[in-house]
Structure 1
């Protein structure tokens, strides 16, 4: 009696778990999301994303992957998805490259079991040229054997198939993986792309990835672009390719051309305003702390030996006392030598240990100290560093000595350098970011308005009421100026003191400046006491020490319209804006527009 094949098949299907049934029924299907070439504003490629049956728990890719792991069908699922995608792409006869996700483990297994030429043969059979195919290594767990993966990738390269590394920065795609595989393309994880127009740390991360990509010869794809503002920043950063809902949603039909909104953003002449780092990153660390390499002693060293070292090193202000390579104390030269030169001291105490003269609570400064901690040292009641100096360590190990004046100089220099990047009072961009933004405007040859804002009669106010209230007034002008700027079009920088630079791409810049002047003049007046408000100002010393009357503080803004194609250096623009500011202060007008 012949077996009932239909019954056996039915039992087999019933025995399958959910994903197994989906694969048996061939009910998975692909959708395609475009990758856009940001410089050319054209569709460069599509990423194929697999879907399960609609209206079922296995519709989404995450659900399919979980089921594949639970049912131990990872290889079967990924291979079936690959065949499904290549089949559909071949039937569509779409143009451009095709990106297909594959895990490192499945790729390695495929190369080992079916040979390096299988993938290219499969693509050719289904109507896809191997050079159009890009395998996108997607890892949800760390790669277990990188060497084995690198060997598989090396074999694959000979077939003409491209290689991409997916979701770089999500914790699984490591820098070592990038370095070892040398992929043609690296896709930056969407975490670093979302809100890059407002988060300076993400922007700095992407700039660092661009440098790494240059070293390894890879091109970058920014994943997860969802807003016009983020696209502008990525465009101006020079990122190669973009992907995300703003550029195009996944669809069963590949997209032939980018949409009108994307074209508008990519063709506009506006230069994106790059966000600056958060306040926490402003202070930084002192990396150039002055250090004097100096001999050391142990607590058991004799006083005679300490004296010999001091006499042989006339410039040495102190000696560090070490236990192994760890500093435990400091001996002040002046204090020690005063005792050592006393009558009969050497005869009585010369051969005894120097522990008696050791300060066992020295000021120790780690070379990578945060600058705010060092400022705390300078302003604390404990001023031992002025007489004893301080011990410098690196990772806790002694490397040398420093003096009080060296500490003050290092802190000052670091503060000045930090202020060039971000003003410590307002946290607005300083001179370096201002110059960089002007250079970007000039490079793109756009028209913009450069404004220089300066407070009138600020010094008398600062002298009369004190620096604390003076700082509050500077913060006031910074807040009001920030409110009047379009954060995506207009750049606000703090040159220093009460001087600010505004670089407007907003066409209504004059209205914004008028609001700025009116609001500041009104609110600044409220910062004077009642008697001064009634009098319209204060009696204070001028620059020559003569008492005279100064009106309440106001703001003057000098403005100059810039044709970006006529200039090449940021200094030229800064000088023109400064001249306009002088004209504004001289004429007494709130806003003075200087013709170029």
Structure 2
């Protein structure tokens, strides 16, 4: 009776025998997945993917190669795969044939296996220039110089090499630089959900720049959604591969479905995911100023002398062996010192009597962003004392409260330009960047400027909390009708929003936004205002007057390719169209490119 171990050994032996039979009997199966040009959907190549017999233990490639590795037959299996791919590839198929190979197999094919490979290609009607060997398992590449010479020999024959799974192997970037392959395949990690992940966008953007610098073409693997395809194409990726473009099949294809080709040929610009603002304000180190210091037992007469010699010094740090233990506020100290008999009584006594023994101490490496919490803290003495800057606990310098408030304020203003803190929608800088992309792509778009009518009286009447609720309602109303893949929604600030529509039905969307907001906004008014249909408040001159209930309006300008020269011109024209919408009492005002505020006859007004 066999033990479990005996059964396992028997099974392993059977699997190994089956693998040898597959290779020697030329029974390895191949499926082919198209590689497509993202600009127009043209099929440029196919990648050959090995499969074992259907229903067998060796059907999956992972099992095939794990078995070959255990038998030390991995190189033989790779060579058998190259041969099988060439034999089963239809030479009438357009483009090239990609086959995975390790560095060792590539070296073999460039040397002792070269004649056999060329003979095989000729036998099956394929020129060497149609074969592309994909270099896999980058971390196992050791003899780079030898591999580079092998690639040169293959290139002389017309056979090229692509770097596979860039971003996955530990030495991929180094290999790219050293081998300079004509094509590089991006690992599917960077493709997956790229339309929702700004980090992946930035990584691919960097890879595109590298490809331009190195003279290579990029192939994005794992494309499964139209949104992924749109972003990758807009970022400048040349080719793509994935289930959206074609699943691995036994037969090659000559073209992608017409609907998919039409999608790729469209000139629409993808809406990129929001990129979180990376604070460029730096660390507390930028606020630190060099300043003299004293010790706890330093006489107060000496402290007076230090302050007199440094008239700009607001506070004097007190150190004990280089460690800050206190801070003496200039104004408080000098006010006390000028009182009658204070000099005589305290002049020779230690300054520790007049120091703040618990000053704010901040490491110089602290990000300024984290100092925002200090501004909201209960202890506000740092505003006039300043604070001590340290490095590993030792004194470095001092910083003023004024400099901290200024730096944090500037940082918040800059952050608001990237993302509005109330709605979290993109701010001025991302809006401008997307608008410039639209203009550079010479696409048709509708720049829509949304604004609230009579928002100030509403805010004055009900307060900032309900005012914020109304602004957030406007944001939701706009986002609900905008196509996230085609229409860019931004929040300029306050109650002003910008939507850069590429949807062809932009006008209907604008009208639905206005209707839905106007209906839902009624829920933010009290019964008294709803009943009278107006609000009471002060106008800009301080006079009591009545205002209609708050509604939403929009001004739209149509950009068509070169209709505007700069993004600033578009923004100005949209603001002008919005003013005309407000002047007309609300609703939607559409202004064609080139129309001015005084040329209302050429504009279409929609109530």
Same fold (TM over 0.5): yes
Q: Which moved more, 1:126-135 or 1:524-533?
A: 126-135
Kept in 1, the 8 Å contact 2:368–2:408? The answer is no
Q: Aligned equivalents of 2:248 and 2:494: distance in 1?
A: 52
Q: Aligned equivalents of 1:318 and 1:540: distance in 2?
A: 48
Kept in 2, the 8 Å contact 1:101–1:138? The answer is yes
Structure 1: runs of 5 or more not aligned: 1-11
1:315 aligns with 2:312: yes
Q: Aligned equivalents of 2:277 and 2:129: distance in 1?
A: 47
What is the deviation of 1:492?
Answer: 1.4
What is the deviation of 1:323?
Answer: 7.7
> Which residue of the other structure, out of 287, 290, 295, is the alignment partner of 1:291?
287
Cα distance, 1:272–1:115 mapped onto 2, change above 3 Å: closer
1:149 aligns with 2:148: no
Cα distance, 1:33–1:544 mapped onto 2, change above 3 Å: same
Q: Which residue of 2 aligns with 1:200?
A: 198
Q: Which residue of 2 aligns with 1:126?
A: 120
Q: Aligned equivalents of 1:399 and 1:187: distance in 2?
A: 49
Cα distance, 1:324–1:75 mapped onto 2, change above 3 Å: farther
1:572 aligns with 2:577: no
Kept in 1, the 8 Å contact 2:449–2:496? The answer is yes
Kept in 2, the 8 Å contact 1:222–1:242? The answer is yes
Kept in 1, the 8 Å contact 2:283–2:366? The answer is no
> Which residue of the other structure, out of 103, 111, 114, is the alignment partner of 1:117?
111
Which secondary structure state, in structure 2, belongs to the residue aligned with residue 566 of structure 1? coil
Q: Aligned equivalents of 1:135 and 1:499: distance in 2?
A: 54
Which secondary structure state, in structure 1, belongs to the residue aligned with residue 270 of structure 2? coil
Kept in 1, the 8 Å contact 2:281–2:368? The answer is yes
Q: Aligned equivalents of 1:386 and 1:58: distance in 2?
A: 72
Kept in 2, the 8 Å contact 1:526–1:533? The answer is no
What is the deviation of 1:300?
Answer: 6.8
Kept in 2, the 8 Å contact 1:17–1:71? The answer is no
Kept in 1, the 8 Å contact 2:40–2:261? The answer is no
Per-residue Cα deviation, 1:397-439 (whole angstroms, up to 9, x for no partner)? 8654322221122122122222222212111121222222222
Q: Aligned equivalents of 1:77 and 1:337: distance in 2?
A: 87
> Which residue of the other structure, out of 462, 477, 481, is the alignment partner of 2:478?
481
What is the deviation of 1:521?
Answer: 1.2
Kept in 2, the 8 Å contact 1:363–1:389? The answer is no
Q: Aligned equivalents of 2:392 and 2:88: distance in 1?
A: 59
Per-residue Cα deviation, 1:32-62 (whole angstroms, up to 9, x for no partner)? 2222222354222222211111221221222
Kept in 1, the 8 Å contact 2:16–2:67? The answer is no
Q: Which residue of 1 aligns with 2:273?
A: 275
Q: Which residue of 2 aligns with 1:443?
A: 440
Cα distance, 1:183–1:305 mapped onto 2, change above 3 Å: farther
Kept in 2, the 8 Å contact 1:166–1:173? The answer is no
Per-residue Cα deviation, 1:543-567 (whole angstroms, up to 9, x for no partner)? 2222222222111111233322322
Q: Aligned equivalents of 2:29 and 2:294: distance in 1?
A: 76
Q: Aligned equivalents of 1:376 and 1:398: distance in 2?
A: 22
1:36 aligns with 2:30: no
Q: Aligned equivalents of 1:508 and 1:454: distance in 2?
A: 20
Q: Aligned equivalents of 1:487 and 1:409: distance in 2?
A: 37
Matches within 5 A, 1:305-384: 309-320=306-317, 330-335=327-332, 342-344=342-344, 348-349=348-349, 357=355, 359-364=357-362, 366-367=364-365, 369=367, 371=369, 373-384=370-381
Q: Aligned equivalents of 2:109 and 2:475: distance in 1?
A: 65
> So what's the TM-score if we normalise by structure 2?
0.84
What is the deviation of 1:453?
Answer: 0.9
Kept in 1, the 8 Å contact 2:556–2:577? The answer is yes
Which secondary structure state, in structure 2, belongs to the residue aligned with residue 225 of structure 1? coil
1:409 aligns with 2:421: no
Q: Aligned equivalents of 2:368 and 2:114: distance in 1?
A: 55
Cα distance, 1:384–1:124 mapped onto 2, change above 3 Å: farther
Kept in 2, the 8 Å contact 1:560–1:580? The answer is yes
Q: Which moved more, 1:476-485 or 1:444-453?
A: 444-453
Q: Aligned equivalents of 2:56 and 2:293: distance in 1?
A: 77
Q: Which residue of 2 aligns with 1:103?
A: 102
Kept in 2, the 8 Å contact 1:117–1:156? The answer is no
> So what's the TM-score if we normalise by structure 1?
0.85
Q: Which moved more, 1:93-102 or 1:389-398?
A: 389-398
Cα distance, 1:393–1:187 mapped onto 2, change above 3 Å: farther
What is the deviation of 1:322?
Answer: 6.4
Per-residue Cα deviation, 1:332-385 (whole angstroms, up to 9, x for no partner)? 444455677742477633xx68697363442416555262x3332212212132
What is the deviation of 1:67?
Answer: 2.4
Cα distance, 1:331–1:131 mapped onto 2, change above 3 Å: farther
Output the aligned Cα RMSD. 3.3
Q: Aligned equivalents of 1:368 and 1:129: distance in 2?
A: 61
Q: Aligned equivalents of 2:391 and 2:558: distance in 1?
A: 51
Which secondary structure state, in structure 1, belongs to the residue aligned with residue 404 of structure 2? helix
Q: Aligned equivalents of 1:345 and 1:66: distance in 2?
A: 88
Kept in 1, the 8 Å contact 2:553–2:588? The answer is yes
Which secondary structure state, in structure 2, belongs to the residue aligned with residue 565 of structure 1? coil
Q: Which residue of 1 aligns with 2:455?
A: 458
Kept in 1, the 8 Å contact 2:291–2:313? The answer is no
